[in-house]
A and B are shown apart, each in its own frame.
Chain A
Amino acid sequence: MIAHAIVFYIFSLIAIVSAIMVTVSKNTVNSVFFLILDFISISCLFIMIGAEFLGMIMLIVYVGAVAVLFLFVVMMLNVAQQKNEWFNSSGRSSHIPVGLLVSIIIFFELIIVIGGWKYKPDLLDSIAIEINTDLTNTQSLGSVIYTDYIHLFQLSGMVLLVAMIGAIVLTFRQRSGVKRQSYFKQISRDRKDGIELVDVENNKGVKIDA
């Protein structure tokens, strides 16, 4: 049990320190790397409380895909430079009220979430589905999500689909003059379409129809 506690405190310390470093570090790429470290240590904490499925999905989705794209954007756009320019410009003070508002809202939300922990015993009595401790949590998640909550599950899938289509519509542009390769055209071409033999009379030349 002591070993368990030690490992827990190591991971939570890493999580908190790297979360602070995300906001503090000057280099934007470094902050993304600290964000990744944060994700990894949080997924380790998930695994420690027995939610191994959630922990692994966190690794695959956030670290394996989302953070890669983050890193990509940050590396390509050279955000660090732009940020420094913005900090030195005069327009920065106009953004402070908005940022303050957002951070106050998030702060109160956090207070509500942490305060709700007090009512955990009451909540445990009122949950609709009994906790089955015999199943692994992958199995029990599957059996709950795909049966009792199938509509909510599909609804969230729809929301993601809408977001995806929106992203495609926003970034799609039809460009003219792009040469595309068509495999069918290439393969179905034969000698007749490609080559034409013409008998050329002397001193006359040939007229080629384009």
Chain B
Amino acid sequence: MAELFIFFEQIYRILFLLIPVLVSVAMIVWLDRRVWAFVQKRRGPNVVGPFGLFQTLADALKYIFKEIIIPASSNKVIFILAPIVTMTLALIAWAVIPFSETFVLADINVGILYLFAVSSLGVYGIIMGGWASNSKYPFLGAIRSAAQMVSYEVSIGVIIINVLLCVGSLNLSDIVLAQKDLWFVIPLFPMFIIFFISALAETNRPPFDLPEAEAELVAGYQTEYSGMMYAMFWLGEYANILLMCAMGSILFLGGWLSPIDLFPFNVIPAPIWLILKILFLFILFALIKAIVPRYRYDQLMKLGWKIFLPFSLIYVVLTASFLMYFDLLPGN
């Protein structure tokens, strides 16, 4: 009986985290479009609800009632599995994100590796969708995206090593607590910039949105999808973007810590700080979408392998020698 009770309590906790995440994904789509419109001096979605806040819900409703078309020559099982995989992987990663010292679903001691692993699995949704569609453009988009995501994962991994050298633990709460005195964005500022750009590439955001480059590939791997399955790809993508923003704020911006431990700041509850930091990073994402033109594919690969990877590797050596020389290494 007691085990059953624990089971239901866990389900309650999971829903308590998951539903806000899904709602905020819907809101973030609206925010993205508003920021984009703001930069281009348009109004953006402003009709449905106050400030157009319910636009995404209206869109979702529209997608639910649309027909799901499955191409006749597609591999049907994999075709249907692909959006499910994308959505699931985007949501399960939130299990380890710490919102405050106590509010975390699973405080596992390899938290950052778990995040890294889940984000590296994200490529499967895209490859499966692109291949199962059995069509030219989706397949080209899937190939591009797989190469791109695998390349930029490497540099994200090396950046994570930089942070871990300063922390001495793989636990996300420990990573946040290690930034109590100094956020890692200050000593590791170049790494923060590279992480941000790699996160753009990892989530297929502009200027690295070559997998779905509409001028060349129609909509890339999503071309054959319609109705709710398209909406799931779309929500999964935005959930991934939010996840990358959360990862950035935990690794570099001090997670749920307030910027200064003084009166007006430390009364604000910890989850609010994390949400504000995620929003800050997301607005940067949206601004970049609006102002930067798309990269060429060879430039993208060159940036990942010939510039980011060597630079972050050199920075690992620098960080390690600095910590060693001044005897700042954690754990002794």
Are these two chains actual partners, yes or no? yes
- Listed in ascending order, the chain A residues whose CB lies under 8 Å from chain B are 3, 27, 29, 33, 36, 52-53, 56-57, 59-60, 63-65, 68-69, 71-72, 75-76, 136, 138-139, 181
Contact present for A68 and B117 (CB under 8 Å) = no
Residue among A56, A64, A65, A75 making CB contact with B131, cutoff 8 Å: A75
Known pairs A3-B3, A56-B114; A64 contacts B109 (CB<8 A): no
Query: Which B residues lie within 8 Å of A72 (CB)?
Result: 127, 143, 146
Contact present for A29 and B131 (CB under 8 Å) = yes
In the complex, chain B residues 109-166 whose Cβ is within 8 Å of any chain A Cβ: 109-110, 113-114, 116-117, 120-121, 123-124, 127-128, 131, 139, 143, 146, 150, 153, 157
- Listed in ascending order, the chain B residues whose CB lies under 8 Å from chain A are 3, 75, 78, 108-110, 113-114, 116-117, 120-121, 123-124, 127-128, 131, 139, 143, 146, 150, 153, 157, 170, 298-299, 331
Contact present for A53 and B121 (CB under 8 Å) = no
Query: Which B residues lie within 8 Å of A3 (CB)?
Result: 3
A130, B128: Cα distance in complex, Å: 46
A6, B150: Cα distance in complex, Å: 35
- Output the least CB separation between A45 and chain B (Å): 15
Contact present for B131 and A60 (CB under 8 Å) = no
A192, B114: Cα distance in complex, Å: 56
Closest to A29 in B: B131
Q: Can you offer 27 A-B residue contacts whose CB atoms are under 8 A?
A: A3-B3, A29-B131, A33-B78, A52-B108, A52-B109, A56-B113, A59-B120, A60-B116, A60-B120, A64-B117, A64-B120, A64-B121, A64-B123, A64-B153, A65-B150, A65-B153, A68-B123, A68-B124, A68-B150, A71-B131, A72-B127, A72-B146, A75-B131, A75-B139, A76-B143, A138-B109, A139-B331
Task: With A33-B78, A64-B120 given, name 4 new contacts (CB 8 A).
Answer: A63-B121, A64-B123, A71-B127, A138-B170
Known pairs A3-B3, A52-B108, A71-B127; A60 contacts B146 (CB<8 A): no
- Output the least CB separation between A208 and chain B (Å): 31
- Output the least CB separation between A134 and chain B (Å): 13
A136, B116: Cα distance in complex, Å: 19
Contact present for A68 and B146 (CB under 8 Å) = yes
Query: Which B residues lie within 8 Å of A71 (CB)?
Result: 127, 131, 146
Contact present for B110 and A52 (CB under 8 Å) = yes
Closest to B122 in A: A64
Known pairs A33-B78, A64-B153, A75-B131; A56 contacts B110 (CB<8 A): yes
Query: Which A residues lie within 8 Å of B331 (CB)?
Result: 139
Query: Which A residues lie within 8 Å of B117 (CB)?
Result: 56, 59-60, 63-64
Contact present for A57 and B113 (CB under 8 Å) = yes
Query: Which of B110, B114, B127, B298 counts the most A-chain CB atoms under 10 A from its CB?
Result: B110
Known pairs A3-B3, A72-B143; A65 contacts B120 (CB<8 A): yes
- Output the least CB separation between B22 and chain A (Å): 24
A27, B150: Cα distance in complex, Å: 25
Query: Which B residues lie within 8 Å of A181 (CB)?
Result: 298-299
Contact present for B121 and A59 (CB under 8 Å) = yes
Query: Which A residues lie within 8 Å of B153 (CB)?
Result: 64-65
Closest to B299 in A: A181
Query: Which B residues lie within 8 Å of A60 (CB)?
Result: 113, 116-117, 120, 157
Closest to A36 in B: B124
Question: What 7 A-B pairs are tightest by C-beta distance, nearest first?
Answer: A64-B120, A56-B113, A59-B117, A60-B117, A52-B110, A136-B109, A56-B110
Query: Which A residues lie within 8 Å of B139 (CB)?
Result: 75
A144, B8: Cα distance in complex, Å: 41
A49, B153: Cα distance in complex, Å: 28
- Output the least CB separation between A54 and chain B (Å): 10
- Output the least CB separation between B308 and chain A (Å): 15
- Output the least CB separation between B294 and chain A (Å): 16
A29, B77: Cα distance in complex, Å: 12
A59, B116: Cα distance in complex, Å: 9
